[in-house]
Amino acid sequence: MTDTWNVFTYGSLMFPVVWNRVVQGRYRSSEGTIHGFQRLQIRGEKYPALIVNPNAASLIGRVYFDVSARDIARLDHFETSDYARVSIAVAAEGVALAAEAYLTLKPETLEPLEWRAEEFERVGLESFLATYAATNAPPL
């Protein structure tokens, strides 16, 4: 049994301002790539969800290394019951490794549109911090 986990992020948690609002520890991170998953826009929201799609193109996100059990619990709280934490394969820093990722449990809420990090940063991040992040960030 492990005391720490790697975490693959693909949406709002890729942004340090969001990640640091949720977790309390400081973690090394790196770009990571996954295969067999798709990141889609949620209808009416600025943040994405991840689904299994064996035909999807490779997806780039951010991997945080050796995240503590306490911060995993904080991430679980933040992601709410709309997501399930699963272990997936990630390529990062030239090696394959296991990482936790959050898959949507509500695929019916998704639009057939790829989510774009650049657009989120430009037009959605500020409102996300004031709404979803403010509501779902775990208490200190």
Question: What is the mean pLDDT of the segment spanning 16-37?
Answer: 97
Give dist(CA 63, CA 90) in Å, integer: 8
- What type of residue is 108? E
pLDDT digits (tens, 9 = 90+) for 53-96: 999 999 999 999 999 999 999 999 999 999 999 999 999 999 99
* pLDDT in the model for residue 2: 67
* pLDDT in the model for residue 73: 97
Please give the helix or strand (H or E) that residue 128 lies within, else none: helix 125-130
Give dist(CA 35, CA 59) in Å, integer: 6
* pLDDT in the model for residue 1: 56
* pLDDT in the model for residue 140: 73
Q: Is pLDDT at 127 greater than 70 in this prediction?
A: yes
Give dist(CA 56, CA 95) in Å, integer: 21
Give dist(CA 49, CA 30) in Å, integer: 20
Give dist(CA 100, CA 117) in Å, integer: 20
Sheet-wide strand order for 37-42 = 48-52, 37-42, 110-114
What token pair was written down for 93?
């820093």
The model carries a pTM of 0.95
